[in-house]
Structure 1
Amino acid sequence: MSPQNITLLWSALFAAALVAGTGLKLWLATRQIRHVRAHRAEVPAAFAAVIKLPAHEKAADYAVARTRFGMWHTLFSAAVLLGWTFLGLLQALADWSAAHFGAGLLAQLLLLVEFALIGAVIELPWTLWQTFRLEAQFGFNRNTPALFIADMLKNLIVSALLLLPLGLLVLWLMQATALWWLWSWAAFAVFSLAMMVAFPMFIAPLFNRFDPLADGEVKSRAQALMQRCSFALKGLYVMDGSRRSAHANAYFTGLGAARRVVLFDTLLKQLNAAQIEAVLAHEVGHYKRHHIQQRLIVTLLLSLAGFALIGWLSKQVWFYTGLGYTPNMLGGNTAAALILFMLAVPVFGVFFSPLSASWSRKHEFEADAYASEHSDARQLGAALVRMYQDNASTLTPDPLYVRFYYSHPPALQRLARMGALTALAGTTEQQHAQAAGTQP
């Protein structure tokens, strides 16, 4: 096959994947909106005793609004991608940068920086709308313009300090050795592992306050849980998530000595001590079931395959020309190769999203099972329902949409799997009786 035909074939394949992927996303979003709206007027029977209709309707409206926002953003992103590639915007940016800064190593790094900054500026209106319009509309946003700007500047500085040296190293390796992709992957692996230690200890505190969990019933239960599970960690921390959002969550982070569990302050306000203990058991379950290690290994293996692939593609003229870029095969294409690869991978990656989502949901089921073994499944079920309610998470998502996008199983599936549906009803009846004064 002639080089011209290979270029046309690659262009056609990329265009077809972009159209198909965009169409798939829009179709799934339409299904989600239709399904959520169809079930808006009635709380699912399993939750009728604990979720009131107004809360269920709010969750439905929130899901529809977020999904509709996502549809517009999908179309916008596809248009931007076409601009960078077939419409020649990356070529124009590279030509302008070369005319002003040349084609040396630092010039290649500047091209990466220019591309990243333009991308950030393009995305900024969408982030502003989502934060100060969509989230505020449903009562979740607590961010302020001043805090938003401060976060943005901190992100810029931290990203520059961390990513510029890594980018410079990769670009230098691309010029220095044919096995640059292997050495670059090794640098990426070391960087990723280092970040798992550095992020919770040094970076996250730049954006949020992390206070040790105060003495009391929650801490006592947490410490007893850690002893039962033979789980050692650096500490239990409470994060001031309420500064930016009313959403509640908990997460496990860190590696080795930096390993810790973080609770949002909003979570402490929403759940009682027994429920928080069950949520902590779920987070410990992720570690005890080796989910953290599995995800790290898969990430490193996929990144190795990605570096190997770009090592080959960067030598192929059709890879550049098929995406609207005219390379200089004598040199000066290192940054363009990285950018084009970053633009192309997500176009094809959308078709593999059900695999990653399914794997993540499997891990959530396993963590729920672990939590049910080491804490009260009834309390975990009650905690999940309360979090679904307070976060306005819809209880009636479209099943196919779930398969593609949901990293966590829907509430009904989670509670049914852990056998907490009937226990949840019993807990609710007991709570109502206590509130009425019929039980001690």
Structure 2
Amino acid sequence: MNDSLSPALLTSLVFGAALLANLLVKFWLASRQIRAVARHRGAVPAEFAQTITLASHQRAADYTVAKLRLGLLELAFGAAVLLGWTLMGGLDWLNALLLQAFGPGHPLLQPLALLVAFAVINGLIDLPFGLYQTFVVEQRFGFNKMTLGLWLGDLVKGTLVGAAIGIPLAALVLWLMGATGRWWWLWTWAVWMGFSLLMMVIYPMFIAPLFNKFQPLADEALKERVTGLMARCGFAAKGLFVMDGSRRSAHANAYFTGFGAAKRVVFFDTLLKQLSVPEVEAVLAHELGHFKRRHIAKRIAAMFGFSLAGLALLGWLTQQSWFYVGLGVTPNLPAQLGGDVPNHALALLLFMLVVPVFSFFLSPLSAMLSRRHEFEADAYAAQQASAQDLANALVKLYKDNASTLTPDPLYVRFYYSHPPASERIARMGARFEAVGAGA
């Protein structure tokens, strides 16, 4: 008995220590960011003094601090919820309740119900934070354009789409876990890989239009400029579209979506209002740089590699009683290990809950690689368009999106997927003063 309890107790202690360390580091980093932004609130950085007004700089500082403070509250609450699901027995209670409701004659239905119930409960728990972020923080700084009706409509549509896609996929994964023996994780990985690639085709064509309107780009001057850029770069897209992002937010963006022949170029309407034609071309050249430098392919390969390793690890953990007991649930293991029918849904949920606690400490590495890709895409844009136009666009976007220009360096190393504006523009060798006071 002691031999079986010792690994479980160790699992509990390691998980608790990792969660505490995770929480302390995140609070420390956020407090550093808040202090850094507040300390520089009173003056625009010298290199931006001719392009960013003090009022815009202070608005960005206040917006950054407001989001961080809400994030701290959400972080503490999320840690409490995580403890509730695991060591305090919440997931075990929910599993036992559904086992009683469905009985032993439904080996697939009960685990599927567990996944659905967990998703619904977690979604309800997160709703207040989403509402506050949208209708208080974003509203306060003039970014929110959504009505409550539109927000609720998105919630309903998102839930229905998620259920229509997620429930069959979850049922297939649970069936594979039970029907394909010890190598279930390899079959599951193959299904997940195929599903992810399929979604790259399906999402832009069928799902995204459920939430936003996509109109063909009508600006002939911009269309000619963009078409010429893509021809120079050897890039083919199915179409150029403008998305009505202004229905929901004042934030601006542009992106590529799709896979293979389904690739599309999408501009937020807010972006086209804020930038000149040469600046839009430079932003698009940056996005093209990600494709030409094969960043997208590398990220997809990395995602598949990590998912394969994670599923292989999960395949082993599902057979270890201490994994369940140490995280606060009663395992249903195969008969030779002292149990009856394995509940793979429990293992999946525990794994999804626990992995982020540990993977957070690898975030500086992934953020560093992402920032390196951004520098490479900037360099490509400077070759295909204009470094100065890209610099002008970046300053405008930082201003209009209220992004702080004075982040804490250590916070950047952990969280920033894009380099700070000063680093990006300095690396391109562009001139700040050329942007103009109206930027």
Distance 2:237 2:419 in 1: 27
Task: Please tell me the residue identity of whatever aligns with 1:71.
Answer: L
Aligned with residue 360 of structure 1, among 366, 370, 378: 370
Q: Which amino acid aligns with 1:102?
A: G
* Counterpart-to-counterpart distance in 1, 2:50 and 2:260: 43
Cα deviation digits, residues 199-257 of structure 1 (max 9, x gap):
11111111101111114211111011111111111111111000000000111111001
Secondary structure, counterpart of 2:10 in structure 1: helix
Question: Partner of 2:417 in structure 1?
Answer: 407
Q: Structure 1 residues 281 and 132, CA, compared in 2 at 3 Å: closer, same or farther?
A: same
Are 2:376 and 1:370 aligned? no
Amino acid across the alignment from 1:218: L
Aligned pairs for 1:8-157 within 5 A: 8-103=9-104, 104-157=107-160
Q: Deviations over 1:298-348 (max 9, x none)?
A: 000000011101100011000000001011212142111110001000110
Matched with 1:214 is 218
The letter for the 1-side match of 2:217 is L
The separation in 2 between residues aligned to 1:215 and 1:393, in whole angstroms, is 28
Q: Distance in 2 between matches of 1:229 and 1:204?
A: 27
2:162 is aligned with what amino acid? S
What TM-score, normalized to structure 2? Answer: 0.96
3-state SS, counterpart of residue 179 of structure 1? helix
Corresponding residue for residue 437 of structure 1: none
Partner of 1:286: 290
Question: Structure 1 residue 395 and structure 2 residue 405: aligned?
Answer: yes
Contact 2:189 2:308 in 1 (8 A): yes
The answer as to whether partners of 2:217 and 2:241 remain within 8 angstroms in 1 is yes
SS of 1:409's partner is coil
Q: Structure 1 residues 219-228 or 74-83, which shifts more?
A: 219-228
- 3-state secondary structure, aligned to 2:436: helix
Asked if 1:333 is matched to 2:336, the reply is no
3-state SS of paired residue (1:307): helix
1:175 aligns to 2:183 (yes or no)? no
- Which SS does the other structure have where 2:182 is aligned? coil
| Partner-residue secondary structure (3-state), 2:236 | coil
What is the aligned counterpart of 2:229 among 207, 225, 228?
225
Secondary structure of 1:142's aligned partner: coil
User: Structure 1 CA distance, aligned partners of 2:371 and 2:185?
Assistant: 32
Q: In 2, Cα distance between the equivalents of 1:266 and 1:428?
A: 20
- Please tell me the residue identity of whatever aligns with 2:99: A
Q: Supply the distance in 2 between the matched residues of 1:223 and 1:174 (Cα, whole angstroms).
A: 48
Task: Give 1:185's aligned residue.
Answer: 189
C-alpha contact (below 8 Å) 2:226/2:281 kept by paired residues: yes
Residue aligned with 1:173, SS? helix
Query: Residue 186 of structure 2 contacts residue 311 of structure 2 at CA under 8 Å; is this kept in 1?
Result: yes
Whole-angstrom CA distance in 2 between matches of 1:83 and 1:121: 15
1:235 to 222, 234, 239: 239
Letter in 1 for 2:275: L
Q: Hey, what's the Cα distance between the residues in 2 that align with 1:97 and 1:198?
A: 34
Whether 2:249 is the aligned partner of 1:245: answer: yes
User: In the alignment, what sits opposite 1:436?
Assistant: none
Indicate conservation of the 8 Å contact 1:108/1:332, yes or no. Answer: no
CA distance in 2, matches of 1:363, 1:255: 20
In the superposition, relative to structure 1, how do residues 184 and 372 fare at CA in structure 2: closer, same or farther (>3 Å)? same
How far has the Cα of 1:427 moved from its partner?
A: 4.4
3-state SS of paired residue (1:21) = helix
Any unmatched runs of 5+ in structure 1? 433-440
Higher relative contact order (CA 8 A, sep 6+): 2
Aligned 8 A contact 2:289 2:380 in 1: yes
Runs of 4 or more above 3 Å deviation: none
Residue 352 of structure 2 is aligned to residue 342 of structure 1: yes
Secondary structure of the corresponding residue to residue 407 of structure 1: coil
- 8 Å CA contact 2:51–2:435 kept in 1: the answer is no
Cross-structure match for 1:428: 436
Q: Alpha-carbon deviation of 1:101? A: 1.3
Please report how far the alpha carbon of residue 396 of structure 1 lies from its aligned counterpart in structure 2 after TM superposition: 0.3
Aligned equivalent of 1:384: 394
Query: Take 1:427 and 1:117, find their aligned partners in 2: how far apart are those partners?
Result: 48
Aligned to 1:260: 264
The 3 A distance-change label for structure 1 pair 332 and 233 is: same
**Distance in 2 between residues matched to 1:272 and 1:427, nearest whole Å:** 12
- Give the Cα–Cα distance (whole angstroms) in 2 for the partners of residues 201 and 419 of structure 1: 39
Please say if residues 197 and 258 of structure 1, whose CA atoms lie closer than 8 Å, have aligned partners that are also in contact. yes
| 2:238–2:264 contact (8 Å) kept in structure 1 | yes
User: Shift in Å at residue 165 of structure 1?
Assistant: 1.2
Task: Look up the SS of the partner of 1:262 in the other structure.
Answer: strand
Q: C-alpha separation between the residues in 2 aligned to 1:369 and 1:419?
A: 10
Correspondence 1:299 to 2:303: yes
Counterpart CA distance in 2 for 1:163 and 1:26 is 33
Aligned to 2:169: 166
Contact 2:184 2:315 survives alignment (8 Å): yes
Provide the identity percentage.
Answer: 58
Deviations 1:252-303 (A, max 9, x none): 1110011111110000000010100000101111100101100000000000
Partner amino acid, structure 2, of 1:311: G
Deviations 1:116-136 (A, max 9, x none): 000000000000000000100
Conservation of the 8 A alpha-carbon contact between 1:151 and 1:207: yes
Unaligned runs of 5+ in 2: 334-339
Q: Please give the alpha-carbon distance, in whole angstroms, between the structure 2 residues aligned to 1:245 and 1:254.
A: 23
For the 8 Å contact 1:3–1:318, the answer to whether it is kept is: yes
Distance 1:242 1:343 in 2: 35
2:115 counterpart letter in structure 1: L
* Aligned residues: CA RMSD: 1.2
